Structure 1
Amino acid sequence: MSTTDAAAQTAPAPASSPASRSEHPAGGLRSRMAGALARMVPRGTATAPEDAGPVGTPGMRLVAAVREGRADEVLDVLPELDPAARRACLPRLKEIRKELRGEWSDDARRQRVALLLAGMGCNTGAVAAAQWIGSAVRDGLAESDFTAIVRVFAAYDPAWQQTVAQRLAGRRESAWGWGEYPLVEYLLRITGSPVPTSDPWVARWAQDRTWKRLRPDLTGETWQIALPSGATLLERLRADSWLPVLAPRLFETADIGSVLDSPWRRDHADDTWPGALARLAEEGVLDRVDLVDRCLARLLRGGRPGEMRSFLNVLEALAPTPEEQADRVPTYLRLLPDAHSTVAGHAQQVLVALDDAGRIDAEQLAEASRAVLFRSEKKLVRAQLSWLDRAARRDPGQAAAVVLAAADALGHEDTAIQERALNLIARHIRGAGEGVLPELRAAAEGLDHRHQARAAELFGFTPVGPPADEPGELLPPVPVPQPLAPPLATPEEVAEEVAAILATRADLAARADMPAFERALDGLVRHAHRDRPALAAALEPVVVDRDWHDRGHWWSCNPSDIVFVAMAVLDRIPVSHIRHAHLGRASVFGARHTAFGAVMAARLIEAAWQIVDTPPPGLLATPTVATGALDPASLVGRLRAYEDAGATPGEVDFSQALLRLTPPARPGTADAAEALGSAHGRRLAHWLRSGGPAHPRVTRAPRPESGQSAWELRLSARRILLEASEAAAPGPLAPPLAALLRPTGPLGGQGGIDQWSQDTTAHWSAVLPHHREIVAVRCQRRFAAAADQDERGAAGLLPRLAEADGTAGEALHLGVAYGLGARFPEDRAAAIDALLVLAARGDLDGALLGGQLAELVSLGAVKTNRLSAALGDAARTGAQGTVWSVLAALLPGLLTGEPVRGAADLLAVAGDCARRSRARGALSQVSAVAARGGSSRLVKEARLLRDVLGAD
């Protein structure tokens, strides 16, 4: 067994003898500390392992000192306990730790310090001690208390110390507490441990070095070792002996770009990472050429835009010379096709400068053009065409290569780019010779119809129009709801599903798999009914390192909170607490719930209570279809199973089941429900015969003039505001579900969803799978934020609502309108999916959507460039007729009076859609713009659309 392994499993030995002090990597203890710390050597008599002992014993005095927050007394009592007595205190200490979570008073802080020291002494193994320290610091220990840890730490032998320090440094990112890094770095340095190089450690090191702050004074008592300090980042890095090891790792660590972009003050280059690294490279502290290569390699790996901009700033600060750039031309070329637009733009500028200096050959110019001209960013494409034009003007001998390279842009999705490429080819085609014509003719097949005639004249071919039998509309097939998989068959399968849900990061919970969550929740209840011990045994490894507490969330209840139910199976939560939560007397998940998060929280609490009280044979509300819908006959069968088992349905579970029922029920289903003879059977029969809740009336809401902040009033002024009437239900429902059917206002009150409430959107449509208009009107602020607040992921719910059932009215269409104008491409893609599904199902009202879009553009909530990109993408799927139905209602509002900026792009999309869908019937506003003089793009696009639509 290695020294480290032995230290992890045995009680630590004191480090008070001269021999042990001389062997310590950082030197001996001060003489005045040695005597006091030596008292912590375990001695005394053992107490019973199942308890801390009777009142007055050292174990009980230790627990009492912790409860009263007396850290000095903890240090006095610990030496009186032998290892067995210390272990016997641990259950009480763990109970105190649970009690303190969520408490932030001064008394609680003192208790935490005492608890930390007691836990270090009672967890006799180094691994357990490291876990205890990490948990205590994560729970909010102040940096001023780190000295106490070091004093206890100093009493143990070097092997134990190294194990603890390395364990603390090696934890995953989520296990770190705020401000904990200086303590762990200090422990590593005083033990002479090797420098950790894991991603979490590098990120913490970079964060710590970034900010100038007061560091805990840990040098006065034991070892004279100071942490690197300085007034600027450059000074702190200069003083850091770990810099040569950790600086190269910056370029390999994931998600560190935001750290390198800090601090945000740019008035002092030495206090920024790009400036500091460049200065250290200039001084020879770091290898400048190595940093350049690592930076380029990191840019090639790709990542989030902010991440890439940070590394690009470092590269620019390092300022590679033209000779160094020329040596790396292949690398710059590799950045052009797929890198973030800012990175690709930088690479393009470098290559242009090298070409002007004669360092780029014809093949490299062609390779650069092939990479860039297929990109969607117009700025990059225009710059590449300008580079090609300049190259041909400078060297006419390159004309043939230039026009062939420019031909790649003839198939670009933007017609203005096509026209620019065609103009470039026209300028240089004579010098290129007739040998290029066959390739140019082939490339011209990708041209928009409006440029076909000119290309035919230049390249010498006869343009061919679209076939007479070309389909005018291609829509995706109508989605067929997929049945939910059968219930989980074994406890092991339940544990696997729960583990998968818990492995999902909280910020990805919105995209969590709804069917998987529903089957896992049902499986916990179902197998607790069948064999709770077996289920507990399967769940134990899944939640072994998790702890439940009532600190509360800063977000809505989400699928990962299923751990509360799993811990109820394992008896990790007091039954009294679950009962109080079930009765509404205690908070479990905090109070910052969305209306739909409150439903999920109520379902989880009720499921936990059913498990610890009398587990039923399964849940009633588990959907039978992946949209969240529930077959009425299946619910009748589940109620029959409940009666056979003598189980009582949970009110939240039964209410959710009622709202998921698919109307209308098959003949005889209501009679079968009533024949059950129970009260719940009769309620179900009445519900089925009544047809479920009514659909609310959604109308425009008046704009508020007061009662909101100035910022919210400005926001409301540029949005369409909707409100919904009550959706009357044919029977009583549990409170969180009944709340969903009440009237809904436009500003987040009365159950509306705030624009930043993004935690569990994947599950919201499944709560009301047949009333998507209710969900949409409650989410209107969330959808609007995708367009006017640049919120990412806000439109992710739209495809699910399009596949759900119920009225598709103004609220759902408004959500699609906001999504089409969203900031992020993935949100626009979600809105396009919803648009196409609604059209395929016959639920799309193109005139309604187009009118809403025109109003949102005029209000400033939706930008035309985003809208034209989204509608162009939708048209390219083959849905030209659908897109034209929207544009036909949108364009008149944009062209009346002074046309809005960006209208030309929308006219270009409209012209292509109208031609391919064979639309006819002039629009007076389009004709008016077409009749204007001049040759602006707006006028040209209007004339082309007018010609397609025909005369007035």
Structure 2
Amino acid sequence: MTAWDDVRKRIEAKAADDVAAIVAGLPEEDRRAVATELPGHLKRTLARARWFDEYVPAFRAAGAGTIGGAAGVATWLNRRQFTMRRTVHQDTDRLLRVLRARPADWLADLAGRLTLRLSLPGLSGLDLALALLRETGVTPPDHDPLVIGWARDGGPRADDPLLPHLLPRLFEVDGVGPALEGPSWARSGPHRARQLKRFADEGRVDRRTLLDRCVSRFLRGGDARELRFFTTLHAELEAADPAARRAETVARARDYLRLLPAAPVPVAELALRLLRELDDPDVPDPLDLTEALDALLFRPEAGLVGKGLSWLAETVERHPALADECAPALAQTFAHDSPAVRRRAVSLALKLPVTDPTPLREATGLLPFDLGQKIAARFGGEPTHPDPAPPPLTPDAAPRLTAATWARPVDVARPLGADEAVDLIEETARGQARVDRLLEGLLHLARTDRDGLRAALARGTRPDGLGHLIGCSTWPHPYAWLTAIANVLAGTRAVPSEPLARLPRPDGTSPLHLLVLHRCAELLPPLGRGVLPPVLLATPTEPTGHLDPLTLVERLERYEAAALEPGAADLQQALLRLPAAVPAEAVRRAEALTSAAARTVAGWLAREGPPRPRIGMRRLGDEAHVRLRAPATGLPLIDAIFNGSASAGDGHEHDPGLAAWDVESWSSLLPSHPDTVAAHLLPHLRSFRATIADLATASVGGPFAKVLAWDLVALLNRGDRSARETLTYLAARGELPTALLGRALARRARNGDVRMSRLLRVLEDLAEAGGYQAVWETVAAALPDLLPAPDERAAASHAPLLGLALRTARWCEARAEIPELAALASRKGNSDVLQEARALNEYLTGPRPTPADHVP
């Protein structure tokens, strides 16, 4: 057996360790023979192997031990076939055993070649390259991926022979910072920074050199993620003794000053902290200091600019002669995005001992009107006019609520075609219920185009028609009933046995949903007997779902002429769609009819519909429990709707036959009874079968205003699109319960249920869209409960909330006295919250400012 036969056999067995043992002891002639055969065998194995990855370690070991030149071995180990599926090979120890038989200079050559082949992001081959560099002691080539790989591989270690070569390069290569930080879950950065600090304490590296390298790395630039490790390392390396730290800061002061204008916030804060520690004799050239302040105060970060303003105040207090030099830097903060920064800048400007106020005077127009007045009164200048209010939001500009799209008029003037009817039935299965339109359209097709309906059903997406539904004991969704009706009318199926028994139990679904199912179910028995109703009583005549009383009477006259009685559910649905106002002629014509249905309608019209149910509601935490009570009418489906209870814990909340599109159509079932619809919607708000828009469309007042406000706050906090549309819709119509909404916002914020920053963005968007009156009323109602009590600290979120309140109050020209706001404004201190509170309280209780009030 030849050496190649032996090696090939071990490769086929995927025995990489055996391959390594064989090739390590082969004479030169056999090595060349094996190396010659390897490429062809690799190609054949790739063609037939299902899982080639299992062969890779054996092929790598064979090539590493037999290929003659270092360049050839480097190329072999980095073949695309070996690296396209795996980026990290677990065979470094095996390859080292094979390679150690080679001469030292050959190994050094291979180490350099493997290093230069390293590439990001995977750094395949890193382990072997690092191992060879350490074993040979060769100076690593200047290759950035090697430095990043070394940082990922654990970073600097005391016993690592690569430390002297690669440590300086950590501060020169982009991408090293995140590698030293490691993944977020590992938190490796602080540990590695402390490790380098320990090396400095032990004398392995020079501490000051490391500090200088950190500063140089800051000056090279990079984002906060890239520089985070180096800011941690710099903080670890700073001298503990204040005097020594100040001395080191003086030596690097000009570099720290250069970091202030544009470095990432953590780096700029580090430099600012050190510079502010300097004593008077140590302050660099005042001109450099004022230039640094100018750059620092131009930054967009409010927190950093606030610290810069404090530094400016300290500088001017120590060096009053620098006031004029600092005035231009201070003036540019008048245009800062943060209201708190602007207020603080104005407060500082009024105390500044300037001799030349020109920069401050010229910047007056950058400030809001109230702040501009203060600067103009001291230094002159022309303040801006108050921010003009955006155009008020009107109902025409508000979004149409999602729920309203389902209340579409029934197009009875244009009968449905057969294909269109079948398509609409399939849409019902996917989420677009059009029950009224389909019932009317299917009956019309039965009279005019039975053959077309039969052909359309055969072409439909469910060729078995009703077959897949027959085995279901309950049909909880209109799709099943509409499919059955279509098949019976087309003559492709008989009426299922006992169809009414397939209705859900009354306690298993909402009575409104049951009403829809009953209307479908009651058609099947007469259709089985060949009786077609002349018309359906309950088909609405208005987009809202209302039914014209005279139209209803005309339909009853057609039934009486045909000597037929309408279905009980169809009759009860028709009664629920009648408007409150009934023409006298409709009553007179109904009373002239003799059928039982006509007598029921005449009595209903005479007393203007059912008695309004009494609705009682109470809340237990987040859950609303509602109870409806009304005198019995003798009509079971109607009595079930107007009597009973509804809460988020009801069993039919999880009814599988009830989908969101069914719930969205409920407003059109009882268009004259919005409070009753709202009561039945409540259980489904928690399951998201109903949206807040459905509740708003059904009823925005009465006992459900509190529920609407409470749930609206929660859904706005979640970013619910329907909630945002509802907020804008109600604000545009003047129907938003702002007082209740404000109190709900305050309570839920105090409970920690919502994040104020999210709600603020929603309110700000509404105000900018023109709904500022509603926003002001909401925030004003929230402030008494939301502002901190005398023994509480203000939250950071209070400042932007008060800023929004001031802006909308100006646009509304509001006036109010809020004791809690006045108490907060009277506190000592100069925080952003207190400044915003004082500004709002001053506006609400003071004289109304006008553009002519300023001092020229």
TM-score normalized by structure 1?
Answer: 0.48
Is residue 582 of structure 2 the alignment partner of residue 681 of structure 1? Answer: no
Structure 1: which amino acid aligns with 2:264?
W
Structure 2: which amino acid aligns with 1:744?
S
Structure 1: which amino acid aligns with 2:570?
D
Unaligned runs of 5+ in 1: 1-239, 245-276, 293-318, 333-341, 343-352, 366-383, 408-416, 704-715, 786-790
Query: Per chain length, whose mean CA-contact separation is higher, i.e. which structure has more relative contact order (CA < 8 Å, sep 6+)?
Result: 2
Kept after mapping to 2: 8 A contact 1:755/1:782 = no
Match of 1:818 in 2: 711
Is residue 376 of structure 2 the alignment partner of residue 484 of structure 1? Answer: no
CA distance in 1, matches of 2:50, 2:589: 78
Partner SS, residue 744 of structure 1: strand
Deviation at 1:621, TM superposition (A): 2.4
CA distance in 2, matches of 1:427, 1:559: 70
Q: How does 1:276-315 map to 2 (within 5 A)?
A: 280-282=86-88
Match of 1:495 in 2: 422
Structure 2: which amino acid aligns with 1:541?
R
Kept after mapping to 1: 8 A contact 2:741/2:778 = yes
CA distance in 2, matches of 1:289, 1:605: 70
CA distance in 1, matches of 2:555, 2:173: 72
CA distance in 1, matches of 2:267, 2:361: 21
Residues 557 and 875 from structure 1, CA distance in 2 versus in 1: closer, same or farther, beyond 3 angstroms? farther
Residues 495 and 576 from structure 1, CA distance in 2 versus in 1: closer, same or farther, beyond 3 angstroms? closer
Match of 2:549 in 1: 632
CA distance in 2, matches of 1:555, 1:938: 60
Kept after mapping to 2: 8 A contact 1:743/1:750 = no
CA distance in 2, matches of 1:387, 1:838: 44
Deviations 1:296-351 (A, max 9, x none): xxxxxxxxxxxxxxxxxxxxxxx99999xx9999xx9xxxxxxxxx9xxxxxxxxx
Match of 2:668 in 1: 766
Kept after mapping to 2: 8 A contact 1:724/1:744 = yes
Deviation at 1:741, TM superposition (A): 0.8
CA distance in 2, matches of 1:928, 1:639: 69
Partner SS, residue 639 of structure 2: helix
Match of 2:393 in 1: 474
Match of 2:513 in 1: 597
Which has the greater radius of gyration?
Answer: 2
Partner SS, residue 449 of structure 2: helix
CA distance in 2, matches of 1:672, 1:449: 72
Match of 2:264 in 1: 387
Deviation at 1:923, TM superposition (A): 0.7
Match of 1:518 in 2: 436
Deviations 1:535-591 (A, max 9, x none): 2222322243465336769996366874444444456665242xx232xx3457998
Q: How does 1:604-753 map to 2 (within 5 A)?
A: 604-609=520-525, 611-613=527-529, 614-644=531-561, 647-701=564-618, 716=620, 718-719=621-622, 721-728=624-631, 731-735=633-637, 737-746=638-647, 748-749=649-650
Deviations 1:157-196 (A, max 9, x none): xxxxxxxxxxxxxxxxxxxxxxxxxxxxxxxxxxxxxxxx
Identical residues among aligned pairs (%): 25
Deviation at 1:920, TM superposition (A): 0.8
Partner SS, residue 770 of structure 2: coil
CA distance in 1, matches of 2:487, 2:263: 64
Is residue 786 of structure 2 the alignment partner of residue 884 of structure 1? Answer: no
CA distance in 2, matches of 1:527, 1:290: 69
Q: How does 1:451-466 map to 2 (within 5 A)?
A: 451=342, 454=345, 460-462=363-365, 463=367, 465=369
Deviation at 1:742, TM superposition (A): 0.6
Structure 2: which amino acid aligns with 1:663?
A
Kept after mapping to 1: 8 A contact 2:293/2:308 = no
Deviations 1:452-486 (A, max 9, x none): 89599599351364668746842433879886152
CA distance in 1, matches of 2:344, 2:450: 76
Deviation at 1:523, TM superposition (A): 1.8
Deviation at 1:856, TM superposition (A): 4.8
Match among 683, 686, 691 for residue 797 of structure 1: 691
Deviation at 1:611, TM superposition (A): 4.2
Kept after mapping to 1: 8 A contact 2:760/2:801 = yes
Match of 1:557 in 2: 477
Match of 2:207 in 1: none
Deviations 1:250-280 (A, max 9, x none): xxxxxxxxxxxxxxxxxxxxxxxxxxx9995
Partner SS, residue 540 of structure 2: coil
Deviation at 1:949, TM superposition (A): 1.6
Q: How does 1:94-493 map to 2 (within 5 A)?
A: 241=50, 280-282=86-88, 387=264, 390=267, 419-420=302-303, 444=335, 451=342, 454=345, 460-462=363-365, 463=367, 465=369, 470=389, 473-477=392-396, 484-487=409-412, 488-493=415-420
CA distance in 1, matches of 2:524, 2:739: 49
CA distance in 2, matches of 1:929, 1:459: 33
Structure 1: which amino acid aligns with 2:829?
G
Partner SS, residue 658 of structure 1: helix
Deviation at 1:385, TM superposition (A): 9.8
Is residue 744 of structure 2 the alignment partner of residue 830 of structure 1? Answer: no
Kept after mapping to 2: 8 A contact 1:622/1:630 = yes
Residues 672 and 856 from structure 1, CA distance in 2 versus in 1: closer, same or farther, beyond 3 angstroms? farther
Match of 1:127 in 2: none
Kept after mapping to 1: 8 A contact 2:305/2:341 = no
Is residue 832 of structure 2 the alignment partner of residue 930 of structure 1? Answer: no
Q: How does 1:895-914 map to 2 (within 5 A)?
A: 895=787, 897=789, 902-914=797-809
Structure 2: which amino acid aligns with 1:802?
A
Residues 425 and 684 from structure 1, CA distance in 2 versus in 1: closer, same or farther, beyond 3 angstroms? farther
Structure 1: which amino acid aligns with 2:635?
L
Structure 2: which amino acid aligns with 1:549?
L
Match of 1:156 in 2: none
The root-mean-square deviation of aligned C-alpha atoms, in Å, is: 5.6
Kept after mapping to 2: 8 A contact 1:529/1:616 = no
Partner SS, residue 536 of structure 1: helix
Unaligned runs of 5+ in 2: 1-48, 54-82, 92-117, 123-151, 156-168, 179-183, 185-213, 227-260, 273-287, 313-324, 347-358, 370-384, 848-856
Kept after mapping to 2: 8 A contact 1:475/1:836 = no
Residues 544 and 752 from structure 1, CA distance in 2 versus in 1: closer, same or farther, beyond 3 angstroms? closer
CA distance in 1, matches of 2:511, 2:337: 50
Structure 2: which amino acid aligns with 1:631?
D
Match of 2:72 in 1: none
Match of 2:842 in 1: 947
Structure 2: which amino acid aligns with 1:748?
G
Match among 760, 766, 770 for residue 874 of structure 1: 766
CA distance in 1, matches of 2:760, 2:769: 14
Residues 562 and 884 from structure 1, CA distance in 2 versus in 1: closer, same or farther, beyond 3 angstroms? farther
Match of 1:575 in 2: 495
CA distance in 1, matches of 2:425, 2:728: 34
CA distance in 1, matches of 2:262, 2:645: 53
Match of 1:219 in 2: none
Structure 1: which amino acid aligns with 2:845?
G
CA distance in 2, matches of 1:491, 1:405: 70
CA distance in 1, matches of 2:656, 2:742: 23
Structure 2: which amino acid aligns with 1:742?
N
Partner SS, residue 575 of structure 1: coil
Kept after mapping to 1: 8 A contact 2:590/2:599 = yes
CA distance in 2, matches of 1:834, 1:483: 19
Structure 1: which amino acid aligns with 2:670?
L
Kept after mapping to 2: 8 A contact 1:660/1:768 = yes
CA distance in 2, matches of 1:766, 1:445: 52
